[in-house]
Structure 1
Amino acid sequence: MTHQPGPPAPSPTASPGADAVTPAQALGWMHTARFLTTAPKLEFLPAHEMPEIAFVGRSNAGKSTCINTLTQQKRLAFASKTPGRTQSINLFALGRQGTTDAVLADLPGYGYAAVPKQDKLRWQQVMANYLVSRENLRGVVLLTDPRLGLTELDEILLEVIRPRVEQGLKFLVLLTKADKLNRSEGAKALSIARLQAGGGDVKLFSALKKQGVEETAFLLWQWAHPAASASPAPPSSNE
């Protein structure tokens, strides 16, 4: 198969002013997301210097729904009707007025039983290589259903990125579908996930009730603009 050159890398732009934004403004920034490119292999990814934030998680963890909720776009991230069938890394550019100051990377869901074993192994290797070698990766968002907790595959992924986390890579566990938990169940899920995550942030997230949406957008904005994020984050409603 002849390799077709991908789109040119997005041009960087100066980050917003040094004044820290509010969570609501950070959510507005997320709304600027637009499709950049799709890559079936790492070598198809464009090289660029903007901070990249990757979304990872098991199939059916609610990853596409989370991205669409954060960006307030119903079909930005495509949720396949057959979980596990989406097998490309999709990139979305972020930035106001057509400029780009960060990129979101939507990695394929993993762990779905119906996917052939060879495909699982291939994508596990592609994802591991991406998480280990992507130079401008600044943060990883791991989505998991709190009713299941972090699975063996999730923990393997955590081990893959642990060396980079120790070197400063940002890390967030989002407990999706939090609307299905009552208050005590949510508190318990947070406590367990914090122990399992071994560092990083943990938040409850509900696309249905918009729980954790602004807080997550604010955190991602801070990851992408560390120089402009000197002021502390507002208290999380999940605490």
Structure 2
Amino acid sequence: MTDIIKESINITKAEYIASAVESSQFPEEKLRQIAFIGRSNVGKSSLINSLTRFHNLARVSGQPGKTQTINFFKLTAKYYKDATTKDFYLVDLPGYGYAKTGQDKRKKWAVFIEKYFLFPQDLYCVCQLIDIRHEPMPSDVKMFNWLIEHDIPVFVIATKADKIGKGTVAKNISRIKKALNVRELTILPYSSTKNEGRSYLLDFIGQALVE
């Protein structure tokens, strides 16, 4: 995948709405949701800021496991074709698999995240972020399989693509597919630093909002 595709939308507005630790704190306004999840330190906040071009929307922390709530951001997408707009929620989920987080807290987060996924709402898909530099960890595979088993659509994004040579990208994408045991899976390599993959992801979101 490359950025030769012309994105169908532009993000014209982005605002923080709520942080939730229980379902009663989810936003009352019902909008389509696109959730982002991945291992701690996978580059989730950087990707969200790159995607929206609101650079302080998601806080980038040098401390893995910093995000401990489900964060809702209301975004407005404007279509280039006819200038219509659609609002949606970008949902930033806590990172999983951080070794220095206590086992009890990890279990608590896991239960909470599962409750979010199973909560009645207009969740279009989950964007699962996996570091392209390394083979998926058991926690990555476990999360992917859990989503598939519960019929939740998954879009895999391979982050930090600028950290490896272009010739290595295809090889590492194949390695991720093999680890997830889905050879025909579409995986998007993404570089938050260079915004590579942004146009494809924006087009994906644009299509998701009209389906």
Q: State the TM bucket, normalised to the shorter chain.
A: 0.7 to 0.9
SS at match of 1:75: coil
Higher relative contact order (CA 8 A, sep 6+): 2
Alpha-carbon deviation of 1:155? 1.3
Q: Does 2:139 match 1:139? A: no
Q: State whether structure 2 residue 141 is matched by structure 1 residue 155.
A: yes
Distance 1:47 1:157 in 2: 27
Among 161, 172, 175, which residue is 1:178 paired with? 161
In structure 2, C-alpha distance between the alignment counterparts of 1:200 and 1:171, rounded to whole Å: 10
Is residue 94 of structure 1 aligned with residue 79 of structure 2?
Answer: no
Structure 1 residue 88: Cα displacement: 0.6
C-alpha separation in 2, matches of 1:46 and 1:138: 16
Whichever residue aligns with residue 193 of structure 1, its letter is I
1:76 corresponds to which of 39, 57, 60:
57
Aligned counterparts of 2:199 and 2:39: Cα–Cα separation in 1:
23
% identical equivalent positions:
30
- Cα deviation 1:95-151 (Å, max 9, x = unaligned): 259x76211100011111221211111001111221233431111101111122321
Task: Check 1:197–1:88 CA distance in 2 against 1; reply closer, same or farther (3 A cut).
Answer: farther
The structure richer in strand per residue is 2
TM-score normalised by the chain length of structure 2? 0.85
* Counterpart code for 2:118: V
Residue-pair matches, total: 199
Amino acid at match of 2:34: I
**Cα offset, 1:184, TM superposition:** 2.5
Partners in 1 of 2:77 and 2:169 — Cα distance?
Answer: 35
Greater per-residue helix proportion: 1
**1:215: which partner in 2?**
200
Contact 1:142 1:174 in 2 (8 A): yes
- The question of 1:225 aligning with 2:206 is answered no
Provide the C-alpha distance between the structure 2 equivalents of 1:197 and 1:225, rounded to a whole number of angstroms. Answer: 30
| 1:1-239 to 2 correspondences below 5 Å | 23-26=6-9, 28-29=10-11, 31-95=12-76, 101-165=87-151, 169-195=152-178, 196=180, 198=182, 201-226=186-211
Conserved 8 A contact 1:50-1:101:
yes
- Partner secondary structure for residue 33 of structure 1: strand
Structure 2 distance, partners of 1:209, 1:152, is 29
Uncovered stretches (5+) of structure 1, i.e. residues with no partner: 1-21, 227-239
Deviation of residue 225 (structure 1)?
A: 1.7
SS at match of 2:13: coil
Using the TM superposition, give the Cα deviation of residue 32 of structure 1 relative to its aligned residue in structure 2, in angstroms.
Answer: 2.0
Aligned-pair distance for 1:197?
6.1
The runs of at least 4 consecutive aligned structure 1 residues that moved more than 6 Å come to: none
Instruction: Give the C-alpha shift of residue 189 in structure 1.
Output: 1.5
| More moved, 124-133 vs 190-199 | 190-199
Distance 1:23 1:134, change over 3 A: farther
Post-superposition offset of 1:23: 3.6
- Taking only aligned residues, the RMSD between alpha carbons, in angstroms, comes to 2.1
Change in Cα spacing, 1:68 to 1:117, as seen in structure 2 (3 Å) is same
Task: Indicate the SS of the match to 1:32.
Answer: strand
